[in-house]
Amino acid sequence: MKPFINALILGAIVTGLKFLLWRNGLTYWDLSLISISGLIAGIFFSLTVMFRSALMDYKEADKNICSIRGKVSAMNDINLRAAIVSKEDYNPRPLSMYFITVLKTIRSYLENDEDFNKLQDTLNNINYEARVLEGVIPANLVSRFLQCQDHLRGFVSYLEYGKSLKFARVGYIFLYFFIFALLVLQLFSTTPNIPLELIFIFSLSSVLIFFAELIRDLDSPFNRKKAAFAVDLKPLDNGVTAIERSLKELK
């Protein structure tokens, strides 16, 4: 809702400014919609390209969060299975509790409460925590466990890359410059039908500002304190809950 509210507020300000300029006779040229249609089309083309790029990164980050939960859950399933199929007396609780630590550390990292080195240390320590497990399960399960661990590192590496990945700053500069130029042209133009002109400039400015704000918001999905469209971390919480429930069901 934040980009929408900002668009309405700024659109109303632009419209009020347009009315004051018209009221004081500061509109200097006749500017028709046809004469600026090319500029409007260019702006919407830029908006479309940037929106598509930001949305793809946003959805990819969302998908990686779910994949992380799935890989950690799969590793925990192997851990629990070891307690059933192993002929030795194996206790799966310590490793399951460590998987909870892994999920919580990833969440803290994405919320900017932990640095990437701390997360890396937590992932590296899985090898130490799983040393007993690898000695009591068959080779095929060891291979599957290591494969899940490898995929987990890949998903986390993408999120680390995505946290610093932004659309090229020059793209935003050109976008806001063209939007500003278009609105200035409209503000100082004259028209025989001022009510229609006010409706048009309010609609145009609100739509352009909304999409520009939306793109900037989607382009910062890990800025959880400011972004309206932040990456959903609920799958990580659900993963923690599922592991805790599985531990309660152990006999």
Kindly list the structural domains of the chain, giving each domain's residue range(s) and its CATH number in brackets, ordered by start: 2-30+169-218 (no CATH), 55-165+242-248 (1.20.120)
pTM passes above 0.75: no
Question: In the numeric block, which tokens belong to residue 57?
Answer: 């990164």
Amino acid occupying residue 210: F
pLDDT at residue number 102: 94
User: What's the pLDDT at 112?
Assistant: 80
**pLDDT confidence of residue 223:** 65
Q: Which two tokens stand for residue 225?
A: 């304190």
**What pLDDT does residue 74 have?**
93
Residues of the chain with pLDDT under 50: none
d(CA 174, CA 179): 9
205-233 per-position pLDDT tens digit: 888 888 888 877 777 766 656 666 677 88
Separation between Cα atoms, residue 214 and residue 51, nearest integer Å = 8
- How many CB atoms are closer than 10 A to CB 109? 22
- Backbone angles phi and psi of 130, in degrees to 5: -95, 10
DSSP SS3 for 109: helix
Residue 123 CB contacts under 8 Å (≥ 6 apart), including other chains: 102, 152, 153, 156
**pLDDT (tens digit per residue) in 141-153:** 889 999 999 999 9
In this predicted structure, what is the pLDDT of residue 171? 67
Q: Quick one: how far is CA 127 from the chain centroid?
A: 30
Name the DSSP letter for residue 229. S
pLDDT at site 99: 94
